[in-house]
A and B are shown apart, each in its own frame.
Chain A
Amino acid sequence: MSTADETGGLMVRAEAVHKSFGRLEVLRGIDLEVKSGEVMCVVGPSGSGKSTFLRCINHLEKIDAGRLWVNGHLVGYRESGGRLYELRDREVAAQRRDIGMVFQRFNLFPHMTALENIMEAPYRVKRQPKAEVRSRSLALLERVGLSDKAGSYPAQLSGGQQQRVAIARALAMEPALMLFDEPTSALDPELVGEVLEVMKQLALDGMTMVVVTHEMGFAREVGDSLVFMDGGVVVEQGTPGDVLTEPRHPRTRDFLSKVL
């Protein structure tokens, strides 16, 4: 793991990141920096490339042009003698261990209990001792307020509970960075609060987070910075207070007038 000196205190650095699906150019030059410990919220209209950018950060999508570093390491490539070499599947998997991801549709493993979901990766991937993983997983369940649901299967949990298990599952790998892709969009309104509360606690504990969300209240209260994306570029960026109250760009103003 790199020290803050090497990375200049940056967790994520994106330089002119481009990504196309066939002829559709979804990311058209993203420049971004996320500092260690920072909570960055990303907003923007549907199809603006928010999910795609998030997925590029942990190499679920391969970028076409530009550079992307996480924790000082180039994502998906190794640079040597001025040339880029693609990383092997095994090396990509190793990079992803330090990046947690929470999905809109939870994506819990339905054939495993809540506890087994959380234990799976630390036990099978990091090969940590089972008893240790188990007690740490139970502690994580308690942290997200679900101690009594250890033996429940995902189908027996509410959406909010499933998403909290999913957060605990990502935390079990002790990531340096957490990515959230609209974590509350698939939830009934009364379940949104419990998930946001867990995320807020995580932010207070100092976790570096990139959160794609439509919850402006969360962005204002918890976010250190707010990014507005549209058409595959970052249109505006600043503190949540500034961007939400005094948007400079007309497109930001237009978008905020629709969602606020």
Chain B
Amino acid sequence: MTDLSKDTPDPARPEAIKAVPVRHPGRWVAVVVIAVLAAMFVNMLVTNENFKWSFIVDNAFRPNIVEGVWTTIALTVLAMVIGVLFGIVLAVMRLSDNPILSGVAWLYTWFFRAVPRLVLAILFGNMGILYAKYHIGGVPFAGPLGDLMGVDIDGTLFTVDARTLLSGFMAGLLALALSEAAYMAEIVRAGILSVDPGQEEAAGALGMSRALTLRRIILPQAMRVIIPPTGNETIAMLKDTSLVAFVPVTNELFFQLQAVGSRTFNVFPMLVAACMWYLILTSFLLAGQFFIERHFARGAGEQPRDKRTALRALGFGSGGGAAGGGGGA
């Protein structure tokens, strides 16, 4: 192929610059050092027999552990869904003109952010002590009413033993979801405050109600600020599900892995298996976050199209993912 710039010189365009690029010897030293360390690490993984890789492979996918994975996923998803929805309610209450609503929301966030999740989990697990029985769907004056009509009405549609309702999965889920709502409330509030007040005015001037404005105009725009820290929260939640072992919820992933480990005297390999499971699950969450962020970037001009921004959206390198660390201020 001929070099066009030489054969047909363009009078207006000077010759392309051919300069010696800056050398980065330091980078090459760093690469060598890292390569050596990595090789040592891999060597240790392979040769140290305490890892017992075949044991990990044989046991990390046992039915009870797969069940534990599903429990962990279910807890994460449900706790986050409840947490986000309740968090939005709390954020709106907090921003309301009504001092009682905003005071209640403040009090709630104060309490649930102050108490550690581990303590909450144990607390909710023992809540059954407070009430022997819950009556759901109770009809007041059912007794006299029943007498009047000549039938015997129990007054309750169904009665649940408190220890059944508030133990195990439900207690763990409540502890996680209620605590999450407190953090999400702060994240959502920051998101709502980030939206230009002119947007609310424009919607109001069009005759849109407050609720419609919030749902259609404010929240979708707030999402761009809300999603990155919510991704962090979801990942933190995935890991915090291991706390429900203290409720106790025994069919949860980490509990199951540890049980296998201690039963077979292979504690360390099962801890490695736990790391692997959490890495896999977190990777799926990161991928999900990427697509959700792209959806809510609509109209913002900056669509993550190329690979660099895609990687950044996945949490690699600097960028959104790290913002709002422990749940905003």
Contact = CB atoms under 8 A, between A and B. Distances in A.
B298 A60 contact: no
B280 interface: no
Given A96-B207, A125-B208, A154-B299, A103 B221 contact: no
A120 B209 CA distance: 12
Interface stretch (A73-81, A86-94, A212-220): A86-94
**Which of B204, B207, B216 counts the most A-chain CB atoms under 10 A from its CB?**
B207
A101 to B, nearest CB: 4
B299 A120 contact: no
Contacts of B220: 111
A121 B210 contact: no
A169 B217 CA distance: 14
Interface stretch (B24-32, B120-128, B195-203, B248-256): B195-203
B300 interface: yes
Interface string A93-123: 1111101110101011111110000001100
A111 B201 CA distance: 16
A173 B207 contact: yes
A178 to B, nearest CB: 11
A154 B296 CA distance: 15
**Which of B199, B220, B299 counts the most A-chain CB atoms under 10 A from its CB?**
B299
Contacts of A252: none
A107 B198 contact: yes
A69 to B, nearest CB: 18
A154 B298 CA distance: 11
A93 B299 contact: no
B212 A109 contact: no
A110 B299 contact: yes
B206 interface: yes
Contacts, number: 76
Interface residues of B, number: 23
Interface residues of A, number: 32
B19 interface: no
Contacts of A170: 205-206
Given A110-B299, A111-B220, A155-B301, A100 B209 contact: no
Contact of A100 (B205, B217, B301): B205
A96 B203 CA distance: 10
A157 to B, nearest CB: 11
A169 B206 CA distance: 8
Given A103-B201, A111-B299, A173 B206 contact: yes
Contacts of B221: 109-111
Given A153-B299, A156-B301, A107 B210 contact: no
Interface of A: 58, 60, 89-90, 93-97, 99-101, 103, 105, 107-113, 120-121, 124-125, 153-156, 169-170, 173
Given A96-B206, A120-B208, A125-B207, 15 more contacts: A60-B201, A89-B210, A93-B204, A93-B208, A94-B207, A100-B205, A101-B202, A101-B205, A107-B201, A107-B202, A109-B203, A109-B217, A110-B300, A111-B300, A120-B216
